[in-house]
């Protein structure tokens, strides 16, 4: 049977629409509206790097220009409409999804039990009961509260104190939950004191969770391979993903399509007839220039972003500075349904200091596009609580 073909233009637009980046934004970016954005995306990656704004805040702001960071804090810490845990990385996740994370808690615990004795050294397993008892007796705690007088452990990724490792283990395995943050410091409490009872009482078997995770991933991507669908929430194994796709294909729930990449090559991917029909009727993208987070969900899979958009984007932490063409932490810039460049900027006192912008090959920076970029940077400066923009003399690079 002939597979349907999704050309690159429609594929980009379907993908961006599912990531809430195609159409003009609307909504206050707080409360129920922010919760709907989080549901639409599936999760928002949390990252501590702060140059203009933290990654999770910039991701949400790029979908809702009126969003401000306290709105997300309220969603997690006050409204209990979202919780923090892991997908491929640390993330804020809709609270409705918590019952499906039980499978991830169990699988993460098994992996930690197998690997952490070699990775984290000795002593942490003996601290688990003491840390759990401390939180039960004294309420929300951060790493400093449970560390006591432990020696060593500078806090780096490979140099955790035993109590910090135990605290992380209890969180990753679901017995503790993050109840709030102060600054960026996490405070943990017993899960039954953080997660609403209705979600704790909602029990699903493994097959239900796998089906949900694969279906929800496909809804949010529009199309994808079995591996891409499995990687979306990082709950499902690759073997489970292949089995689910085969069964869903056989039952007619999904179909296999040929998706055209930026270089004209077609790749097979799973989709649905509804998604392909939608792709044929999506509106033209607006002309607004958009500043994105380096961890934006639309670009998280770097290989997919390069195939679909022709945009090679890497954060090359270990490459010596002399060999980098760009700085370590640069911001992708999009216009319409294409990536037009990358920006190097940071907060400098009360200013947003623009150090460099590198257009993509073939992108002409005429007066109109420069004005559009400047307007977007002015909006971003308000998010970053900067009162002005400054530009390096040679900021617009060839």
Structure token digits, residue 239: 């073997």
CATH topology of domain 289-391: Aminopeptidase (3.40.630)
136-150 residue pLDDT tens: 999 999 998 987 644
Do 120-195 and 289-391 have matching folds?
A: no
Q: What is the mean pLDDT of residues 196-219?
A: 97
Q: CA–CA separation, 386 vs 389, rounded Å?
A: 8
At a CB cut-off of 8 Å and minimum separation 6, what does 72 contact? Answer: 34, 44, 56, 57, 60, 82, 92
Higher pLDDT, 11 or 168: 11
Asked whether the beta carbons of 226 and 245 are under 8 A apart, the reply is: yes
pLDDT at 104 (0 to 100): 97
When mean pLDDT is compared across 58-62, 163-167, 208-212, 270-274, the lowest value belongs to 163-167
Q: CA–CA separation, 94 vs 106, rounded Å?
A: 19
Higher pLDDT, 146 or 215: 215
- Please state the domain extents for the chain: 5-96+203-279, 120-195, 289-391
Q: CA–CA separation, 297 vs 308, rounded Å?
A: 14
Asked whether the beta carbons of 267 and 304 are under 8 A apart, the reply is: no
Q: Is 229 helix (H, G, I), strand (E, B) or coil?
A: helix
278-332 residue pLDDT tens: 999 999 998 999 999 999 999 999 999 999 999 998 755 444 554 556 766 899 9
Start-to-end CA span in the chain (Å): 48
Give the confidence band of 48 by pLDDT, cuts at 50, 70, 90.
confident
Higher pLDDT, 174 or 327: 174
pLDDT at 55 (0 to 100): 93
Question: In the 8-state DSSP scheme, what is residue 224?
Answer: B
pTM value is: 0.92
- Tell me: pLDDT of 259 over 80: yes
In degrees, rounded to 5, the angle at the alpha carbon of residue 347 between the alpha carbons of residues 345 and 350 is 135
Number of H helices, E strands in the chain: 15, 13
Given 3-state DSSP classes, what are the helix, strand and coil percentages for the chain, each rounded to the nearest 5? 45, 20, 35
Beta bridge partners of 85: 91
pLDDT at 121 (0 to 100): 60
CATH topology of domain 120-195: Arc Repressor Mutant, subunit A (1.10.10)
349-374 residue pLDDT tens: 899 999 999 999 999 999 999 999 99
Higher pLDDT, 64 or 313: 64
Within 10 A of 368 (CB to CB), how many other CB atoms are there? 10
pLDDT at 120 (0 to 100): 60
pLDDT at 318 (0 to 100): 46
Closest CA to 131 of 198, 176, 191, 182: 176
């Amino acid at each position: 049977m002939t597979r349907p073909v999704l050309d690159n233009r429609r594929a980009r637009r379907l993908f961006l629409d599912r990531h809430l980046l195609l159409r003009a934004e609307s909504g206050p970016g707080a409360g129920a509206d922010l919760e709907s954005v989080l549901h639409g995306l599936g999760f928002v990656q949390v990252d501590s790097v702060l140059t203009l704004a933290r990654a999770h805040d910039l991701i949400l702001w790029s979908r809702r220009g009126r969003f401000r960071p306290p709105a997300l804090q309220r969603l997690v810490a006050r409204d209990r409409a979202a919780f923090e845990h892991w997908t491929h990385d640390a993330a804020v996740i809709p609270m409705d999804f918590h019952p499906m994370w039980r499978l991830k808690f169990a699988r993460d615990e098994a992996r930690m039990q197998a690997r952490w004795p070699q990775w984290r050294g000795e002593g942490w397993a003996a601290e688990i009961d003491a840390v759990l008892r401390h939180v039960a007796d004294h309420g929300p705690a951060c790493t400093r509260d449970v560390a006591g007088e432990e020696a060593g452990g500078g806090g780096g990724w490979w140099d955790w104190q035993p109590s910090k490792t135990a605290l992380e283990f209890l969180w990753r395995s679901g017995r503790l939950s993050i109840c709030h943050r102060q600054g960026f410091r996490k405070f943990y409490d017993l899960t039954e004191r953080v997660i609403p009872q209705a979600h704790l009482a909602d029990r699903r078997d493994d097959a239900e969770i796998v089906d949900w995770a694969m279906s929800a991933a496909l809804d949010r991507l529009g199309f994808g391979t079995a591996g891409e669908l499995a990687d979306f929430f990082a709950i499902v194994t690759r073997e489970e993903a292949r089995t689910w796709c085969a069964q869903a294909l056989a039952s007619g729930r999904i179909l296999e399509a040929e998706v055209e990449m930026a270089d004209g090559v077609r790749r097979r991917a799973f989709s649905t007839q509804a998604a392909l029909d939608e792709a044929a009727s999506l509106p033209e993208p607006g002309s607004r220039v958009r500043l994105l987070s380096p961890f934006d969900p639309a670009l998280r899979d770097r290989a997919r972003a390069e195939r679909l958009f022709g945009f090679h984007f890497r954060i090359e932490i270990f490459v010596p500075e002399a060999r980098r063409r760009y700085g370590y932490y640069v911001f992708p810039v999009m216009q319409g349904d294409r990536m037009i460049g990358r920006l190097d900027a940071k907060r400098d006192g009360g200013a947003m200091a623009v150090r460099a912008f590198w257009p993509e090959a073939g992108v002409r920076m005429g007066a109109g596009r420069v004005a559009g970029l400047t307007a977007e940077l002015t909006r971003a400066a308000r998010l970053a609580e900067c009162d002005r923009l400054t530009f390096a003399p040679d900021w617009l690079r060839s």
